[in-house]
Structure 1
Amino acid sequence: MNNNEKQKLSVLIITLNEEHRIKSLLEDIDFADEIIVVDSYSTDQTVAITERFSNVKLLQNEFINYTSQRNFALDQAKNNWVLFLDADEQLTANLKTEIVSTINSEKPASAYFIYRTFMFKDKKLNFSGWQTDKIFRLFNKSNCRYNEERMVHEKLIVNGSVSALKNKIIHFSYTSYKDYKEKMYHYGVLKANEKIKKGQKPSFLLMVFHPLYTFLYQFIIRLGFLDGIKGITICYLNAYSIFIRYYELNRITSSKI
């Protein structure tokens, strides 16, 4: 790498009805050389708010699943270095500085994990399985692509070395019980379709015991009980998503018989 040549960064965001979050996020990422929002035909004010930012490129693309939407966004980026963000995430000043210095370092990795701090409404969730949450968000797209076999909880295929950043993303995922439950339901449905695509058959035992195992593992082994009522809520809703996965798998499979 030529140390005199500043590496440019594209920030990519996929949205659907994010009118309450998108403005603050777009104001916060003015350090990027390119900002692209790929919207799934929002019915609220997401598009109107985004259009107010002259430095943002807005595209609309039909949502099939998270992987296809992310790969579509990747294909629109002009720069090799990309940072994927969700509308419910926030960068600290230290993280921004670390991102810029990392991509301009002498021998950067191909992809970087970023740890996340999970916010339950406006307070940090300390346990419940989220204390070690990390995800690939910063990477060189010339060496990376999302696995097309995954519809949700996307898997990045990395051709090269990986590393992790020190600073965390603040993740405002839980704003209300209703919204988070709807999100978990949506994830469950996508996972069911993913399993159908792989040829997996319904299982009553898995529908009963996998959600139970998930709840107990996150609540006891991952110390969710230390988060009190918040821990019970999160552990239950995550287990609920697992239940929906098998419920929908059974429903869809039965309807095809």
Structure 2
Amino acid sequence: MALKQSLSALLITYNEEHNIREVLNNLVFADEIIVVDSFSTDKTFEIASSYKNVKTFQRPFDNFALQRNYTINLASNSWILFIDADERVTPELQQEINTIIHQEKSASAYFMYRDFIFENRKLNFSGWQTDKIIRLFKKENAVYNLNKIIHEKLIVNGEIKILKNRLTHYSYSNYDDYKQKMIFYGKLKAQEELMKNTNPTFFHFYIRPAYQFLNQYVFRFGFLDGKKGIIVCYLNALSVAERFRELKKIKK
């Protein structure tokens, strides 16, 4: 019979006042909840600190990989569930996670497919139909790659499997918020390009963003998502353009 395993649910936050209560309530099935906040200017930290079952910390934000690795080191348990504030674990996924961590033989890490929610409606295409990310893993077998400071990559020692149930991703609440998020991501990606010593050219400024849009809108069937598909594909392409604009500024 397998030994009882405990689960640490981890969050990194910055100005997530609109999400923090819902995500913390969603994670009550975990044995430990840890929030590392990047000195939010709203009430995120205050709200999280009001939960008796939540351990709260603050650390200045430098990049996602460093922030996530710091948070992992705070966890008391071997099993880690790393969730973003705009993600929700369905009851079916909770049950699957609980089953997995109590198996005698399990993988070192598990991918989860995500349902992308656009203003309370699921997007079925636009590149999101195959969106998956490692969110459940064993602490001792995984670390975030410091060379991937955004859309961070988990380096896993051991087998990786995929869970059947999907994570719900409420990434798009309104146009302005998502636009600012994409611009912010683009600026962080510029730091990665700098580390790779990329010299931006016409190709980077124009062809790469155009390809990003066409790939998601045409080849990944974004047009089937209607107006919502155009908006998301455009903003994702904007992030690519911002990456190389920012890189040009840095290199000047």
- CA distance in 1: counterparts of 2:58 and 2:143, whole angstroms: 21
- CA distance in 1: counterparts of 2:240 and 2:33, whole angstroms: 34
Aligned partners of 1:218 and 1:224 also within 8 Å:
yes
Aligned: 1:229 with 2:227: yes
Aligned partners of 1:89 and 1:170 also within 8 Å:
yes
The equivalent of 2:91 in structure 1 is 93
RMSD: 0.8
- CA distance in 2: counterparts of 1:126 and 1:176, whole angstroms: 18
SS of the residue aligned with 1:131? Answer: helix
The equivalent of 2:214 in structure 1 is 216
Q: 1:145-177 CA distances to partner (integer Å, 9 max, x unpaired)?
A: 000111100001010000010001110000010
- Counterparts in 2 of 1:61-76, with a 5 A limit? 61-76=59-74
- CA distance in 2: counterparts of 1:250 and 1:29, whole angstroms: 42
Aligned partners of 1:202 and 1:253 also within 8 Å:
no
- CA distance in 2: counterparts of 1:225 and 1:202, whole angstroms: 30
The equivalent of 1:78 in structure 2 is 76
Aligned: 1:30 with 2:28: yes
SS of the residue aligned with 2:129? Answer: coil
Of the three residues 172, 177, 180, the one matched with 2:178 is 180
Q: Mind listing any 5+ residue stretches in structure 1 that lack a counterpart?
A: none
TM value normalised by structure 2: 0.99
The equivalent of 1:57 in structure 2 is 55
- CA distance in 2: counterparts of 1:203 and 1:156, whole angstroms: 30
The equivalent of 1:134 in structure 2 is 132
TM superposition shift of 1:203: 1.6
Paired AA for residue 8 in structure 2: S
TM superposition shift of 1:48: 1.2
SS of the residue aligned with 2:76? Answer: coil
| Number of residue pairs matched by the alignment | 252
- CA distance in 1: counterparts of 2:249 and 2:131, whole angstroms: 31
Percentage identity across paired residues of the two chains? 53
TM superposition shift of 1:110: 0.2
SS of the residue aligned with 2:128? Answer: coil
SS of the residue aligned with 1:107? Answer: coil
TM value normalised by structure 1: 0.97
Q: Mind listing any 5+ residue stretches in structure 2 that lack a counterpart?
A: none
